[in-house]
Structure 1
C-alpha cells in the first residue's frame, strides 16, 4: 500500500490523498505537478522516474489512512 505522503518534498505544497496532481518515484518520494515538471520527472533524491500517484478515495482513508508526517525540508 502506498504511503500517500501529505506534501511536496521540494516546495511543501499540500498533496491530499484524494486529489490528483501528485507524482512519486518507486521509493515514494512525493512532489507536486509543478515541481515534477521543473525536475523533468526525475526524482532529485534517487534519480528515479516520477510518475502520477494514484488517488485514494476519502471513504478508504479511514481504513487505510494516508501518511501524516510531512517530508518538506525548508531551506
Structure 2
C-alpha cells in the first residue's frame, strides 16, 4: 500500500491526503513547488517525480471488510 507522507521532504510543507503532491517509485514525497524546483527529478534516487494519487480518507478510517473483519468479530465475540 502506498504510504501517504504528510510533509514535503525538501521544505517540510504540510501535505494532506487530498492535496497535490509528487512521489518517486520509492515514495519520496515533495510539494508542487519543490517538484518544480527539482525539475521533476527525485534528489534521492534520480527517478521521475509523478503526481501522487489523492485519497479522501485514511485506510484506518475505512470500515473493516473481508477476512480481517470476520477474524476480529470471532475474536471479540468469544
Normalised-by-shorter TM-score class: 0.7 to 0.9
Question: 1:1-75 maps to which residues of 2 (within 5 A)?
Answer: 1-19=1-19, 21-58=20-57, 60=59, 62-63=61-62
The CA deviation string for residues 4-55 of structure 1, in whole angstroms up to 9 with x for no partner, is: 0000000000111122x20000000000000000000000011000000011
Cα pair distance change 1:59/1:49, threshold 3 Å: closer
- Normalised to the residue count of structure 2, the TM-score between the two structures is 0.73
If you compute each CA radius of gyration, which structure gives the higher value, 1 or 2? Answer: 2
**CA RMSD of superposed structures (Å):** 1.4
Aligned residues: 62
- Structure 1: gaps spanning 5 or more residues: 64-75
- Structure 2: gaps spanning 5 or more residues: 63-78
Question: Higher helix proportion, which one?
Answer: 2
